[in-house]
Amino acid sequence: MTPDIDRRDRLSLTWRDPPGWWGFLTTVDHKRIAARYIVTALLLLFLAGMLALDMRWQLSWAENRRMGPQLYNESFSLHGSTMLFLVSVPAMEAMALWLVPLMLGQRNMAFPRLGAFSYWLYLGGVLTLWVAHALDITPDLGWFEYPPLSGPNYAPGHRADIWAQMITFTEVAALCASVNVAATILKMRPPGMTLARMPVFLWAMLVASLMTILSMPAIMLVTSMLIADRLVSTHFFAPAAHGDVLLFQHLFWFFGHPEVYIIFIPATGFVSSIVETFARRRLFGHHVLVLAILAIGCLAFGLWVHHMFAVGLPRLGNDFYTAASMAIAVPAGLQIFCWVATIATGRPWLATPMLWVLGFVVTFVLGGLSGVMTASAALDLQLTDSYFVVAHFHYVLVGGAMFPLFGAFCYWYPKATGRLMSERWGRIAFFLIVGGFNLGFAPMHLLGLLGMPRRVYTYPAGMGWEGLNRVATLGSAIAMTGGLVFVTNALLSYWRGARAGADPWGSSTLEWAGESPSPPWNLPYTPVVDSLTPLWNAPVLRVMDGIAVERREVLVTSVVDAAPLYRQKSASPSIWPFVAALAVTAMFLGSIFTPWAIVAGALPIAAALTGWFWPQRARATTGPLRVRS
Amino acid sequence: MSARLLVAYLLLIGCAGTQSTLDPGGDQAGALFSLFALTMWVCGAIYTVVAAGLGWALWQAWRRRGVDARGDGDVTHRTDRRLTRLLPFVAGTIVLGLTVLITASFFADRALFATRAAPALEVRVTGHQWWWRVEYRDPASGGWIETANELHLPQGQTVRLALGAADVIHSFWVPNVAGKLDMIPGRTNLLDITARRAGWYRGQCAEFCGMQHAHMALAVKVEPPAAFRAWLAAQAAPAGAAAGRGAMVFATACAACHAIRGTGAGGRAGPDLTHVAGRRTLAAGTLTMTRGNLQGWITQPQAIKPGTSMPAVPLTPADADAVAGYLAGLQ
């Protein structure tokens, strides 16, 4: 799909960003925005990883004096909040933001400015938490701050408010990103890509986005109630005034459990893409994989109580949640079977992305099985809030989501940068990270069974925990070293890697049809699709004509059949998303200190939104749409 | 049988302990340990199958190297038909395994929370930041006998614990005896436990409850019923007649927060100290109970347990010494 020079020039003129800083602040290019997300998330992954190492150091000796209780509590709170709210979820959204338009052969997302807004707001959340940390007002009550501990009586100062508002930031950002992704996937698929011909990756991103839209409001509600308790003396969670502390837990986990799958489901999309490419055959069980993702997406909303088995809720209800939680193993097991079957009947090429998939299967299945153990309402009474659970969720989140993410990073790196990462250093990083991780976290299962609770800054000598803790520290340090090798490899390859060309892996999906790195306008023509693996089936990809080149235009198609409906003007670069995010940031930060900030802060937001949506010109009306070969 | 083998193995590598789920000393922990062993076997079998499947897949693929299966070849279609026939077996096997586990979990749960008609003893345990108030129902008078940070249990008898919290959420966990149950302000959770093996165990708060969550331990002693009754009778008795400088200093400097039954000291904010010297640990498991530690704790609580509600009361060395001596005599 090589355009003539003239078309290329005209597209570049239409889709380019203004130069310099103004362009940096005003861009609505989904690839630039996604790159910012990824870089920010990687930086935070490093910082939160260093916190983890520090905590591991502290726990390597009984009664260690490296950290006092306050510093330790701040460290695990910052580590958990950062990893869950500021690394895992945004990294998955970033991958969607980057790849969805490319995989659809579109020029941009459905709502380009909303994409820019979501990043700036996410950055606001990042800065809120980490600038607060620099100013020594770090939240210190964990990544879920249960009242009454986080209520006005037991958490004076603003640490808990910082945490609650950081959540509000990231949740608004996540909602914006999810609405954008869902609308793009549903309404902007290329002609011929019916729902039945949609790659698993897009299904995964669609389901994760819908789950975000359905679950995030619960946590925004609950953190807002917490802030109201703290700021204007409501009594939602005050037992003395007939408030209920368990309401917080229900609402938190109604979001918190789907969140795990909001992180995991995109990872299954990465794995599916990588397995298909590197097994060098069409994915076995496409329909099974899609149905499994849908099943997990639905079940995820029916099992939040398994985080609350020790709370003392009615036992019969708990048994229902046991069954629902274990039921997740059915679709997850079928997914694993489909991937393994694809590998078995293909001709695998064990390049680094594929290694990460193997690491994922070996590690994630362990996490899934320890999940089956904690899903038992009875057995969980011994396991919950112990190091067993720490081991379990790290196996699921790191093994189940981060390993596929690293694999996806290696896989799509050539598309993003035009260069290949070093395979040798990639393999070294892989073995260090996967080996170190397993060495570090496997002993924690045993530590939990030996009675070590989580979130303790120290423990007395003679508990039999020291040896295992030291092994855990050693493993974490090895994994961290591997992480540094991985990042160094990515940085060096950016300048020194071999040129990748359009499609270095011989992949099947549309993002590989155009040049690497993708130009601002993505593909020169709108592709027309007639199978699940368009680049493998047609010798030459058919394309569609009729989308304007002189204006920013995208194609809107129907939800089920992806039949062309109309051409839609695509937003041009604008400073308003940045201004709006600044206004929202000011309101959120102000509301930590006074409720009046919500009133006063609404005015600048209204002004920014007015500027953002100021009518510009009517919808484009030129020439008919037609398909050509 | 398999459970016993597992225990033997774990004992070998030193996993038996006073705060371990793997070394049950009571009915509830025993039931949970059996459930754990069963779950381990089922999950271990599943993992073995998956790992073997992945190994087999890689080996198959290695044999087939050189064949590019991109595009919709006939070969792919034929193998896919065969693989599709396997899907129901895969799903069926998983469902079977899960059914075993769900059923076992259900019955274990029933057994743990079956209501017993008349427990031999009622005990109220209340979580505080960061210590435990423990109150026994006096079988003779029906009143409550208060102590702190130490739970005594009659061997072989079922005890009903009424778990509550005075400030934030805590969680009661003595792994050798039973699974955990949260202690929630505004609610009372009931936990029936039956300890079988005499000896000392250690429990620890299992829900993050603030700065000193790590130093909120509970010493648990399981003893024969007769010894337990004698101990409880001793706890019910007020402290011996107080005289001397230590008692005087205590009355002015400590009595606002701490109670010593039989004296004028009646504070409720901190632990009851009527028989404090008879306890095994000090400050909820932070220190062992010695006269020296008592004095250190009185003079420098914030250095030993930063954040504790116990203030560093400004006492002259002589006064501190006198109070420590007085408390050390409260057996």
pLDDT digits over B297-309, tens only? 999 999 999 999 9
% of chain A residues with pLDDT over 70: 98
The Cα-based distances of B195 to A448, B108, B204, B220, B233 in angstroms read 21, 17, 17, 10, 20
Q: Which of A102-106, A108-112, B137-141, B274-278 has the lowest mean pLDDT?
A: B137-141
CB of A142 within 8 Å of any CB in chain B? yes
pLDDT digits over B266-277, tens only? 999 999 999 999
CA–CA separation, A171 and A270 (whole Å): 23
CA–CA separation, A522 and A526 (whole Å): 10
Per-residue pLDDT at B14 exceeds 70: no
pLDDT value for A425: 97
pLDDT value for B9: 56
Two tokens, residue A437: 């991780």
**Does the beta-carbon distance from B17 to A451 stay under 8 Å?**
yes
With H, G, I as helix, E, B as strand and everything else as coil, classify residue B266. Answer: strand
Of B53, B61, B181, the CB nearest to A310: B181
Give start and end residues of each alpha helix (H) in B210-300: 225-236, 245-253, 291-299
Which residues sit opposite A258 in a β-bridge?
A: none
First vs last C-alpha separation in chain B: 45
Label residue A615 by pLDDT band (50, 70, 90).
confident
Mean pLDDT, residues A318-329 = 93
Cβ pairs A/B, distance under 8 A? 269
Q: How many CB atoms lie within 10 A of CB B256?
A: 13
Per-residue pLDDT at A83 exceeds 50: yes
pLDDT digits over A175-217, tens only? 999 999 999 999 999 999 999 999 999 999 999 999 999 999 9
pLDDT value for A196: 94
Mean pLDDT, residues A616-623 = 58
Q: Tally the residues of chain A.
A: 629
Per-residue pLDDT at B70 exceeds 70: no
The rounded mean pLDDT for chain A is: 94
pLDDT digits over A232-254, tens only? 999 999 988 999 999 999 999 99
**Does the beta-carbon distance from A449 to B20 stay under 8 Å?**
yes
Q: Tally the residues of chain B.
A: 331
Are the C-beta atoms of residues B172 and B125 closer than 8 Å to each other?
Answer: yes
Q: Which of A4-8, B27-31, B173-177 has the lowest mean pLDDT?
A: A4-8
CB of B129 within 8 Å of any CB in chain A? yes
Residue A284 CB contacts under 8 Å (≥ 6 apart), including other chains: A338, A341, A342, A345, B79, B80, B83
CB of A464 within 8 Å of any CB in chain B? yes
Q: What values do phi and psi take at A67, rounded to 5?
A: -125, 145
pLDDT value for B120: 83
pLDDT value for B1: 42
Mean pLDDT, residues B153-167 = 96
Q: Which of A130, A231, A123, A136 is nearest to A177 (CA)?
A: A123
**Does the beta-carbon distance from B109 to A378 stay under 8 Å?**
yes
pLDDT value for B175: 97
If 0-12 CB within 10 Å is exposed, 13-18 middle and 19+ buried, where does residue A350 land? middle
Helix, strand, coil percent values for chain A (each to nearest 5): 65, 5, 30
CB of B79 within 8 Å of any CB in chain A? yes
Q: Which of A584, A573, A575, A578 is nearest to A606 (CA)?
A: A584
Q: Which of A99-103, A207-211, A410-414, A514-518 has the lowest mean pLDDT?
A: A514-518
Mean pLDDT, residues A84-103 = 97
pLDDT digits over A467-500, tens only? 999 999 999 999 999 999 999 999 999 999 999 9
pLDDT value for B79: 84
CA–CA separation, A408 and A273 (whole Å): 9
Cis peptide leading into residue A148 (ω within 30°): yes
pTM, rounded to two decimals: 0.95
Label residue B38 by pLDDT band (50, 70, 90).
very high
Two tokens, residue B14: 């030193």
Per-residue pLDDT at A619 exceeds 60: no
Please tell me the number of Cα atoms within 13 Å of A315 on its side-chain side: 19
Are the C-beta atoms of residues A58 and A71 closer than 8 Å to each other?
Answer: no
pLDDT digits over A152-161, tens only? 999 999 999 9
User: Beta strand A542-545 with A626-628: parallel, antiparallel or unpaired?
Assistant: antiparallel
pLDDT value for B76: 72
Per-residue pLDDT at B7 exceeds 70: no
* Residues of B with Cβ-Cβ distance to A319 under 8 angstroms: 102, 105-106, 109
pLDDT value for A53: 97
CA–CA separation, B183 and A311 (whole Å): 8
Mean pLDDT, residues A116-143 = 96
What sign for the dihedral angle of Cα A112, A118, A119, A121?
positive
Per-residue pLDDT at B155 exceeds 50: yes
Are the C-beta atoms of residues A55 and A436 closer than 8 Å to each other?
Answer: no
Q: What values do phi and psi take at B174, rounded to 5?
A: -120, 90
pLDDT value for B105: 95
Beta strands in A371-476 (DSSP E): none
Residues 330-369 of A with CB under 8 A from B: 330, 333-334, 336-337, 340-341, 343-348, 358, 361-362, 365-366, 369
Per-residue pLDDT at A383 exceeds 90: yes
Residues 115-134 of A with CB under 8 A from B: none
Residue B150 CB contacts under 8 Å (≥ 6 apart), including other chains: B134, B218, B219, B220, B221, B279, B280, B281
Mean pLDDT, residues B313-325 = 94
Q: Which of B315, B319, B213 is nearest to A149 (CA)?
A: B213
Residue A239 is given by DSSP the state G
Residues 241-260 of B with CB under 8 A from A: none
* Residues of B with Cβ-Cβ distance to A372 under 8 angstroms: 39, 43, 98, 101
Label residue A348 by pLDDT band (50, 70, 90).
confident
In chain B, the largest separation of any two C-alpha atoms, in whole Å, equals 99
Per-residue pLDDT at B240 exceeds 90: no
The rounded mean pLDDT for chain B is: 90
Q: How many CB atoms lie within 10 A of CB B140?
A: 9
Are the C-beta atoms of residues A306 and A375 closer than 8 Å to each other?
Answer: yes
Q: Which of A583, A550, A582 is nearest to A567 (CA)?
A: A550
Q: Which of A218-222, A534-538, B192-196 has the lowest mean pLDDT?
A: A534-538
Selected residue with higher pLDDT from A615 and B278: B278
